[in-house]
Structure 1
Amino acid sequence: MPKTITLTERFGHLVTTPSPKKKIERDSISVSLVEAALRCAEMRGVAREHLLAAAGIAPATLDSPRARVSPVQYGKLWNATADALDDEFFGQDAHPMRRGSFVLLCHAALSSRDGAQALARIASFMRLVLDDLTFEPDIDGERVRIWLADKAAPKTMFAYATGFILVYGLLCWLVGRRIPVLAAHLRCPEPADSDEYRLMFCNDLRFRAARSFVDLSAECAALPVVQTPATLKRFLRDAPANFIVKYRNPDSLAARVRTRLRQTAPTDWPEAESVAAALHMAEATLRRRLKQEGLTYQTIKDALRRDLAIARLAHTQETIPQIADALGFAEPSAFRRAFRKWTGVRPADYRREA
């Protein structure tokens, strides 16, 4: 049996607040998920001030419902909350998921043959550490369905999301790619921030379902497990920030596309055809492989533009027209419309609240 290692021991080096540049280079997470984690801690007597300080999140950030934090910040909040509660499921189950459980789960699943066997081992392990919520795989030729068996009353949206992040993030890492999420139907009522959860799950996210389940692409069952004990060290070192915003494989095609885009000003971002040529593949191949990772070229560009806009509004004195021009919008009005679609508020209001 491998030695039990706490999240603090594994992730203790993640203590520095990311610079504005780092925030620009990453996706971001709604402050509503920060509030959800803090509420779990507060219900068990842990003050939010300590957790926010550990995560490098300014308390004033919570005053704006449309504010966002980086995955690294949210990952540190995740770890601080788990450490404070001695529960990696944040007290959302009758049985606590004690510190070190996720590390042991990774070791248990690492020697699996393929995605199907890995998912079975993950589900079996989670059944040992949780009482109220279990994960029951159901695999056929059309999809891989994970039943989220909530024995009593429906869980909260945040509880379903917490379990999904742990199971899905580990499974994606084991097979080395982001697995497309086809549908997610949950028993809980629709939360106010359901759009944020759709980013986490998929567009086909429905509420007040008769039973809770998540459908994954059928191909994941046959995908071989490609990770080793050596790569596990890197995965645990960066977890959970490396899979909180779905699963981010640093060696994936999407990561290579992001790297190329970050090296160029948004006004000069190339078309998909040029990116494909630079990566020595056909455009159709680029689009097909990105689809396998649950992304499109346009969604990658939109996410980068959104976070560039958020960082510039929060950390520079540039005017709205200047930011719009720098991000490649023909008119400031087009930028304002896009930003409101991304965050729900106008750029000027976001800057004032931030």
Structure 2
Amino acid sequence: MPSPPGTDRPRSVSIAFVRSAVRALDAAARATVLDEAGIAPALLAQPGARVPAQAFARLWMAVALALDDEFFGLDARRMKVGSFAMLCHAVAGQPTVGAALRQALRGFGLFFDDLTVSLRVAGGQALLQIDNRIRTHVHTHFHATAGDAADARRFADETLLVMLHGLLCWLAGRRVPLARVDWAHPPPAHADEYRRMFGPLQRFDATATVAVFDARVLAAAATVTPASLKAFLRDAPQSVFLKQVVPTGLGDRARRLCRSALDQGQAAPTLAELGRALGLSTATLRRRLDAEGAAWGPLKDEVRRDLALQLLAERRLSVADIATRLGFEDASTFYRAFRKWTGSAPGAWRSAQQATLPAG
């Protein structure tokens, strides 16, 4: 599924998703799928590591083929390869977003034994609720310990919500903002990923995982056409993940302007410069970014971090040249920032990538 206009910049995701995605595989199969995705195995041991979003998308398909399960072996019943495509064909003829979404939920009910999704409307809001019954004694080696089961429950909620939100946006023909997500687990180390994927307001330790959005979306006409169905299914379901890591709104515009400046060899804009480019006062820009959960300082660091990962993986520039390209005063300042972002030094991260990724 192509990215929306203006969102073709490289994006990265936490290694936590990679670790969860390969957990159901034995050592040999794990090595194979990581190699197919272009992800260095050494990164699994680095808590702060990140991988390109495209690499995780490739990993999703590789794991699905290895397990014949598009849901990473998380449920007692396999979601066999092709299930997601069949579900999308089944909802394509529905007249409204709400009718299609409810049809999709019935399909997921046929695929899963341990997970149930319900949709209800209250006070002008639509609530998608995931009831997760994954336990330690079911399935296979994936749930060898209580810790494994907790990881599986969390990752199942994350993955299913990615699928549901991706479907919702496809049916509506636009990105549907989530007003809030409640999670039925404590905040994980990668909790900040949720803001980028789902929206700024996240709550934890809830009784169930619930995604909230404007109920008026349900009454809108479904925008599915034969062409859009074909495009959506071209790389589904793993392509749905790429949709989730591309945020929209004012924060996204700010990211694009920052990235454009860096690509042209300029310094990252200040908040005042950014406001002038967007036609907003500094105070208004700061307030609106804060409302999106996208304060300018962390947002700028996020852009520089993702560009740093790209440049290091390409191996065309030295670490010192990358530091200069990103606007750091010197290489040592860049080293400190990169270690804070990823938990490793730039050279170590590049070496880990080089162990698996081809040159060029």
After alignment, is 248-257 or 329-338 more displaced? 248-257
In 2, Cα distance between equivalents of 1:37 and 1:273: 42
Match of residue 228, structure 1, among 225, 230, 245: 225
The verdict on how the C-alpha distance between 1:256 and 1:199 changes in structure 2, with shifts beyond 3 A counting, is closer
The verdict on how the C-alpha distance between 1:159 and 1:51 changes in structure 2, with shifts beyond 3 A counting, is same
Deviation at 1:38, TM superposition (A): 0.9
**Contact map agreement 1:87 1:98 (CA 8 A) in 2:** yes
Secondary structure at the counterpart of residue 223 of structure 2: coil
Deviation at 1:25, TM superposition (A): 3.1
The verdict on how the C-alpha distance between 1:339 and 1:221 changes in structure 2, with shifts beyond 3 A counting, is farther
Residue 205 of structure 1: aligned partner = 202
- Superposed CA deviations along residues 149-199 of structure 1, whole A, max 9, x for unmatched, are 124659521111111111111211221222222332233344343333454
In 2, Cα distance between equivalents of 1:69 and 1:253: 25
Match of residue 163, structure 2, among 161, 166, 173: 166
Normalization by structure 2: what TM-score?
0.72
In 2, Cα distance between equivalents of 1:318 and 1:262: 18
Equivalent position amino acid for 1:160 in 2: D
Residue 241 of structure 2: aligned partner = 244
The verdict on how the C-alpha distance between 1:291 and 1:190 changes in structure 2, with shifts beyond 3 A counting, is closer
In 1, Cα distance between equivalents of 2:222 and 2:300: 30
**Structure 1 residues without counterparts, runs of 5 or longer:** 1-23
Deviation at 1:322, TM superposition (A): 3.7
1:123 maps to 2:120: no
- Report the RMSD for the aligned CA atoms in angstroms: 4.2
Residue 214 of structure 1: aligned partner = 211
**Contact map agreement 1:30 1:67 (CA 8 A) in 2:** yes
Secondary structure at the counterpart of residue 52 of structure 1: helix
Residue 188 of structure 2: aligned partner = 191
Deviation at 1:67, TM superposition (A): 2.5
The verdict on how the C-alpha distance between 1:277 and 1:321 changes in structure 2, with shifts beyond 3 A counting, is same
Residue 327 of structure 2: aligned partner = 328
**Contact map agreement 1:178 1:293 (CA 8 A) in 2:** no
**Contact map agreement 1:71 1:242 (CA 8 A) in 2:** no
Normalization by structure 1: what TM-score?
0.73
**Contact map agreement 2:31 2:41 (CA 8 A) in 1:** yes
Match of residue 265, structure 1, among 247, 258, 262: 262
The verdict on how the C-alpha distance between 1:152 and 1:55 changes in structure 2, with shifts beyond 3 A counting, is closer
Over the matched positions of the two proteins, sequence identity in percent amounts to 39
Secondary structure at the counterpart of residue 136 of structure 1: strand
Residue 55 of structure 1: aligned partner = 37
Residue 35 of structure 1: aligned partner = 19
Secondary structure at the counterpart of residue 69 of structure 1: strand
**Structure 2 residues without counterparts, runs of 5 or longer:** 1-7, 136-150, 354-360
Equivalent position amino acid for 2:182 in 1: H
1:67 maps to 2:53: no
The verdict on how the C-alpha distance between 1:76 and 1:348 changes in structure 2, with shifts beyond 3 A counting, is closer
- Superposed CA deviations along residues 116-164 of structure 1, whole A, max 9, x for unmatched, are 2232122111111111111101123442211111246595211111111
Residue 305 of structure 1: aligned partner = 304
